[in-house]
Structure 1
Amino acid sequence: MTAKSLPISQEDPRCVASDSRQLNVQIAQEEVYSFFVEIVKKLPPEDVLREFKGLFIDGLDSEDSDYVPGIYSIFLNDNEQELCNTLKRCCYIIINNWKTNRKDKYIQELVNLFVQENLKIKTNNLPAVKICKSWLENFVNSKDYKELKLFVIKYDESAKGHWANRYTSYLLIDQSVNQNNPREQQEAARRLSKQIKDKFKFELAMYIARSQSACSSTTRYTNPSILGNHVLRLIKTIVLKRGVFSHENIAHIFLKQTQNQSLKEFKINLEKYLFFSEKNQELVDIWRQQFTDTLLLWKTDYNQEIITKELLLRTCNRVIDYLTTENGKEPSSLFILLLNQGNSLTLVIILLKIILICKNSRRHLETRIAHLIRFYEKYPEEECKGIINFIEIFNITFAIHAENVEYNLIKMEEDQSSNPQLNLDGYRVFSQMKVDRQK
């Protein structure tokens, strides 16, 4: 079977009853999906590209007044969105297979089918063909196609082009949780986001190891962040808080102490937990008061409810909203306040504390960061130093506190002080992969 032989009806859909027409669309869509699921497993990528092009692009140059390109005929009754959905899902069926089988270069060719010069469609005055062409052009200019292009941004070249390209993993997470996206897109986005984050964690660990070695050549390691030579000191500052007073231990104690509390009690203690031990108390008090006033007014009808896992998740997600973006479109007032005062590290540590008491909020947090990137990406890089610095510190902090990597600060030089913050240069950071003892 080929794309041209797919049993797609050429009957004018405008002559069919609405329910029957919708059923025909669904049947045709399933036939197309099954077709690509089958051929992407069996045929070489070049043949898959040829079939895809034949189904969705070839034929739009026809000047035959009685001709409507095969698959478009079932969508001509104001079903542009369904055509877009079909096109998207077919793309992600192919991408998932090629990603699994490491055929990434062909994903680039698939995306390029819509932009290559030799595929520009000629203009003619046939009504049906003009509609089909406009739909294809709308797809190329849509958010859907922009999301598709994320799968061909090479991680090693992510620093090139727009500054937001460096943070593709968050934009992919946003795709993966959007229930309006086809499941193949959600799966592909989730997998690629994990690959990018794992690569960053590995490169950070290698950079730390090699940059502290006198015998390592500076050409043999790269800094995966854009923070320059200051990144090592930042890493030491983050790793510094270990042992009994580590963020992990404090989070564990907090969860034990707040068991069986009411939501009202929990909100009061959560505020203390998040802001405890933060420096510069004068500034912290300003953020703290604004935060407290907002949190205490949230879900007052549930104040007497005992905190459960579900209520914990909802509360933590809401706190994340206060600290990032409440509507998913623009930064919250608290986020702007923290960034304007140059307190990115403080904000990141507070967000880390939230995730340490509720790991299931991690995806919500990363989605909110994606929303912030989308808001700021319309501005040039020089105007976005605050948000970029925040994301870089966030990447490093959460890589250091990853489940599968352990970082330790080891004293290398004797000094008179017992406070390592006074002489971080006398310490070295060591990283190692954690062993899964359950295996």
Structure 2
Amino acid sequence: MIASTNSKRFLSLESGADGGRPEETEHLAGTYHLAGAQQALYSYFLTIVKQLPPEDALDQFRKVFVQIRPGSVPQSVLGCLKQILSANDEQEFRYTLRRCCYILVNNWRLTTQHEPIGKLVRIFDDPSVEQPAISGSLRRLREWLRNFTVSPDYDQLKLSAQRYDDARVHWTYRYTPYLLMLQEVDQKTPIEQRQAARGLARRWKEHFRRDLALFSVRAEANGVPVDELKNPTALGSDAVRLIKGILARHYSCDYQNLAHSFLQQTQHLSFAAFKQSLCEYLIFAVRDGLVVQMLRNQLQARLDSLYPEYDNKPMTRALLIRVCNQLVDCLTLERNGRASCLFNSLVSSYPLTLVILLVKLILICPNSRAHLEARIAGIISVHRDHREEDCRWLVGFLEMFQITFAVYAENIRYNLLSMQGATSPDLDPLTLTGQRIFSQSRWEGSEEEVCKLATPRFHQAPTPIGLEPEF
């Protein structure tokens, strides 16, 4: 056990009267102001997680916050906890508790020790949390722990213990990376929690990309039943058909090159001219005339309202990020927490068109991806209490979103190979049985080495060209 030299007295949370005189208690309480007490706890848990085996570190955490054991942890640590409780600020206590938890979580995850994270989550189920207490400090501690276990903060901690290969106990767990993004973008959360969320989301996406690539190739191998393959999606064998359809679109309109050309052609425009061009870029290649008109009206109206004070100034990267974030809201979840009009209009009838619009935004502004994923998480959160059967429309959209972004915006390149000697890139997505999916790691060449499509100049209004039907 790690010794402490900062305190010679133990402040009993259980009895509140350990023989020390009131002036001694008052003196020790004044030794640690709130911020100092919090920092001392962080340092303590950072030290034990590096020096002790996980089981011993968990035992120390339990004895500090849940089962108060005089003499089993340094006296100064309990003194710091009492100082935090004496401040009578539940939010400060919860912030401290969360940060201590994520200090442990991050260090265990760095050493690929996942089991202790689940045990940490279950510590709060300890029966002692429900027991009555005599002293005011202990009573307050247990009340705040109970409040924590029924809060979104505890749900977020449970999410950090979720592993990619765990059984899916709830349909929303398939979209854990997006739910984690809510924690990453929230600047009010402890930095350790944001780091844990970022790392777990990244690893989860890596697993999904790998499994999707393997499934898409193996699903069409001769003699391999699709049901026996590890399918990371909720679409069954339809996932292969969706990937083929997305790749068929690629041959009609290469969105990466389209985005590259758009940025090249608009870099010297004024902000007002850029907004006009951006609307045309987004609706370019949308076939349905009614959808085109709806998008043109609503997107252009939103763009015209954005930052008019900059209209006559040159376009900048900062403005690009702000505009793309605003359009993400316009296509998903508005800042008032409600689904946007365009989202409601497109998600059921034209989900792939909606996804492609979002892909095109991220291809010109990768910095907006965190904002987009936080908005997707917001949509999931609104429906997380609903049964999966009642959210089929949302699940379909989310699966399209995951797969399309894996195809277009990640580090694995997908291609269609003809098994019948066909060489024409004009593929009909409804008759792709003669095509097989081939995937490989994406190679990033220089700009000069990237093959560019002959695309229209976006400061002129392009004529929409056809794309394959919606899936």
Matched, 1:266 2:310: no
Tell me whether 1:279 sits opposite 2:284 in the alignment: no
Q: 1:254 aligns with which of 249, 253, 262?
A: 262
AA in 1 matched with 2:355: V
1:223 aligns with 2:231: yes
Distance (whole Å) between structure 2 residues aligned to residue 416 and residue 259 of structure 1: 36
Counterpart code for 1:184 = E
Out of 148, 156, 160, the position equivalent to 2:165 is: 156
User: How is 1:41-60 mapped onto 2 (pairs within 5 angstroms)?
Assistant: 41-59=50-68
Q: Which amino acid counterpart does residue 231 of structure 1 have in structure 2?
A: A
* Structure 1, 421-430 or 68-77: larger mean CA deviation: 68-77
Indicate yes or no: 2:190 matched with 1:193: no
Letter in 2 for 1:156: D
Residue among 326, 332, 335 paired with 1:327: 335
Deviation at 1:385?
1.8
Structure 1 residues 436, 258: closer, same or farther in 2, change over 3 A? Answer: closer
What amino acid is aligned across from residue 364 of structure 1 in structure 2?
H
**Distance (whole Å) between structure 2 residues aligned to residue 263 and residue 416 of structure 1:** 42
CA-CA distance at 1:174 after TM superposition: 1.6
Q: Residues 44-83 of structure 1, C-alpha deviation per residue, up to 9 Å, x if partnerless?
A: 111101110111111399xxxxxx9654421223222221
| CA distance in structure 2 between the aligned counterparts of 1:126 and 1:328, rounded to whole angstroms | 43
Could you say which residue in structure 1 is the equivalent of 2:15?
Answer: none
Q: Does 1:412 align with 2:382?
A: no
Aligned to 2:88: 78
1:425 is the counterpart of 2:433: yes
Give the letter for the 1:49 counterpart.
L
Inter-partner Cα distance in structure 1 for 2:338 and 2:205: 25
Question: 2:271, 2:31 → 1: CA distance?
Answer: 47
**Candidates 296, 301, 304, aligned match of 2:312:** 304
Find the residue that maps to 2:433 and give its secondary structure.
helix
TM-score (norm 1): 0.89
Secondary structure of 1:325 counterpart: coil
Pair 335,219 (structure 1): closer, same or farther in 2 beyond 3 Å: closer
How far the C-alpha of 1:220 sits from its partner, in A, is 5.3
CA separation of 1:329 and 1:42: change in aligned 2, threshold 3 A:
same
Alignment of 1:394 with 2:401, yes or no, is yes
Match of 1:35 in 2: 44
1:366 alignment partner AA: E
Preserved CA contact (<8 Å) 1:263 1:303: yes
Distance in 2, Cα, partners of 1:12 & 1:423: 84
After superposition, where does 1:101-140 map in structure 2 within 5 Å?
101-116=111-126, 118-140=127-149
> Secondary structure of 1:423's match?
coil
Q: Is the 8 A contact 2:215 2:231 kept in 1?
A: yes
Worse-superposed segment, 138-147 or 405-414: 405-414
**Residue ranges of structure 2 left out of the alignment (5+ in a row):** 12-20, 71-76, 447-471
Instruction: Indicate if the aligned counterparts of 2:129 and 2:142 stay in contact, CA closer than 8 A.
Output: no
Indicate if the aligned counterparts of 1:60 and 1:121 stay in contact, CA closer than 8 A. Answer: no
- Tell me, what secondary structure is at the counterpart of 2:314? coil
Residues 60, 129 of structure 1: 8 Å contact kept: no
The one-letter amino acid paired with 2:54 is P
Deviations 1:160-185 (CA, angstroms, capped at 9, x unpaired): 32221111111112211211111111
Matched residue type, 2:111: N
How far off is 1:323 after superposition?
0.4
Q: 1:249 to 1:370 in 2, by over 3 A?
A: same
CA–CA distance in 1 between the matches of 2:274 and 2:444? 33
Task: State the SS of the aligned residue for 2:415.
Answer: strand
266, 273, 288: which is aligned to 2:296? Answer: 288
Matched, 1:182 2:190: yes
Q: Is this contact kept in 2: 1:251–1:356, CA < 8 A? A: yes
Structure 2 partner of 1:382 = 389
Cα deviation per residue 1:117-155 (whole Å; 9 max; x = unaligned)?
x44432245433322211111111111111000012232
Q: After alignment, is 194-203 or 170-179 more displaced?
A: 170-179
Question: What residue identity is the alignment partner of 2:420?
Answer: E
The offset of 1:4, in angstroms, is 8.6
1:272-302 deviation per Cα after TM superposition (whole angstroms, max 9, x unaligned) = 1101111211233123312222221222222
Unaligned runs of 5+ in 1: 62-67
Deviation of the 1:435 alpha carbon: 4.4
Q: CA deviation at 1:425?
A: 1.2
CA contact (8 A) 1:262 1:305 kept: yes
Tell me the secondary structure at the aligned position of residue 407 of structure 1.
strand
Among all aligned residue pairs of Structure 1 and Structure 2, give the percentage whose two residues are the same amino acid: 38
State the partner residue of 1:363. 370
Structure 1 residue 231: Cα displacement: 1.4
What's the counterpart of residue 147 of structure 1? 156
Q: Distance in 1 between matches of 2:317 and 2:121?
A: 42
Moved more, 175-184 or 407-416: 407-416
Q: Is the 8 A contact 2:363 2:409 kept in 1?
A: no
In the alignment, is the contact (CA less than 8 A) between 1:200 and 1:224 conserved in 2? yes
Residue 316 of structure 1 is aligned with which of 293, 311, 324? 324
| Structure 2 CA distance for partners of 1:235 and 1:293, relative to 1, 3 Å | same
**Structure possessing the higher relative contact order (Cα contacts under 8 Å, 6 or more residues apart):** 2
Counterpart code for 1:239: L
